Every structure is written in structure tokens, then in C-alpha cells.
Structure 1
Amino acid sequence: MATALKWLSMTMGVACVAIGIFHLAAGIDGIPDMGDDGATADSQTRFFGAIFLGYGVVWIWAARQTPIPATVIRWLASIFLLGAVGRFISVAVYGWPHWFQIALTAIEVALPPIYLWLATADEKRTATTPMAGSAPAFS
């Protein structure tokens, strides 16, 4: 479980950093079906690109910890799921977006439960496994 959590978290982090850099560089031209909505939409897109890049850095940081902090993974996965909630609100208000955004929504709904499950399993494993070199607990 720990290995799967580590690699999935690292993959998520690297993907988010790459996506963030892409959106910082491309602005609205990097979003399918965005059109030319002008300076405000471009500014917003580049801003959120920077936020997404930072979000990815936290995923990478968490993946590099030993043990991986389950609480951090739960927060990150929940934020990812909240993004899907935002997309569903958008569907309710404006209708269905470009097919690529629908595919992203499916990923944003499917992955968080996997991260939550892996984080809980890893947390339970580390709670029952004594750390190497640690002294036994006496009561």
C-alpha cells in the first residue's frame, strides 16, 4: 500500500506541476473551447495555473515523506474532489463543457476515494509497525 500511495501521489504531483506550468505559459490558449475571452479570463487562468503548480508541489512533498502523512493526503484528495463538485455546479448552471473537461471531472471523482483508502491503509500499517531502531514502548 505504501508503495502504491507513494507513486500515485508522486504522479499526481508531477502531473499537477506540469499542468500548472502549462496554464501559466499558455493562458486561455491552453484550454479547449475557451475561445478568446480576453484579458480577465487569461489572467484568471494563469493565476489558477500558479495555484495548481503549488498544489502539485505539496503532493510531491507528501510523497517524499516517510511515512507519507495520511492527513495531508486526505486534505489534498478532498480538495481534488471539491474541484469536481465545482465542475458539477458549472454543469448545473451552464450545461456540459468540452468533452475533455468531462474526462477531467471523471478523474477528479474517481481518484480521491483511492487516495483516501490508500492513506488510511498506510496509516494503519505504520501505526502497527514499529519504526526501525526505535525502542519498545513500556507501560
Structure 2
Amino acid sequence: MANVLRVLTRVMGWACVAIGLYHVLLGNAAIPGAGSAGPTIDSWGRFMGASFVGYGLAWLWAARQRPVPARAVRWLAGIFLLGGVGRLLSLAEHGRPHWFQIVLTVLELALPPVFFWLADAEERPRRGGTEAAAAGR
């Protein structure tokens, strides 16, 4: 399970960095249906893209730690889940968005429980070993 956590954490980090850079570079053209949204939405989208790059870098930082810190994984997964909840609120208030946004919503709601479950996969064996060693003394 520890290897699965490490791989998923890296994939999440690189995906977020790539998506964020895509939005920074393309602005409105990166958002389905927003090509003519104007300069305000373009500015906001590029800013949010840069923020998403930072979010991806936080995932990559977590993936490089030994062990992968469960607390960081849970926080990062919680932020991702919050994004999915935001999309659900938008769906409820404004109706169905572009089909790709629905796919993203499903990912944002489905992946966090996986990360919550795997979060302490690397820390658990170390804690167990330490507790067992302490009990044996």
C-alpha cells in the first residue's frame, strides 16, 4: 500500500502542476465554453492556474518525504474534495456544465476517499514497529 500511496501522490502532484500551467498559459482557452468570457475571467483563470501549480507542488513535496506524511495527504485530499463539493454546488445552482466538468467532479469526489484510506500507509508500519519494540523492552 505504501508504494500505491507514493505513486498516486506523485501522479496527483504532476497532474496538478500540468493542469495549472495549462491554465496559466492558455487562460480562457483552457476552460471549455469560456473562450469569450472576457479579461476578468481570463485573469482569474490564470491566477487560479498558478495556485493549482502550487497545490501540485505541495503534493510533490509530500511524495518526496520519507515517510509520506499522512497529515499532509489528508489535508491535500480534503482540499481536492472541497473543490468537488464546490462543483456540486455550482451544478445545483446553475445546472449542468460542460461534460468534462462532470468528469472532473467525479474524480474530485472519488479520489479523496482513496487518499484518506491510504494516507498513513507508510507511517503505519513505522509506528507499529516502534510500538512493538517499546512493548518488548
TM-score if structure 2 supplies the norm length?
0.92
Partner of residue 15, structure 1: 15
Tell me, yes or no, if structure 1 residue 96 matches structure 2 residue 108: no
Q: Alignment partner of 1:28: what SS?
A: helix
Q: Distance in 2 between matches of 1:33 and 1:70?
A: 37
Q: Alignment partner of 1:59: what SS?
A: helix
* Higher helix content, 1 or 2: 2
Tell me, yes or no, if structure 1 residue 119 matches structure 2 residue 119: yes
Q: Distance in 2 between matches of 1:22 and 1:39?
A: 17
Q: Write the letter of the residue equivalent to 2:36.
A: D
Give the aligned CA root-mean-square deviation in angstroms: 1.4
Q: Distance in 2 between matches of 1:9 and 1:18?
A: 14
Q: Write the letter of the residue equivalent to 2:107.
A: I
Q: How many residues align?
A: 134
Contact kept, 8 Å, 2:18 with 2:53, in 1: the verdict is yes
Q: Alignment partner of 1:96: what SS?
A: coil
- Aligned-residue sequence identity (percent) comes to 54
Q: Map Cα deviations across residues 36-78 of structure 1 (whole Å, 9 max, x no partner).
A: 1100000000000000000000000000100010000000000
Unpaired runs of 5+ residues, structure 2, are none
Unpaired runs of 5+ residues, structure 1, are 131-135
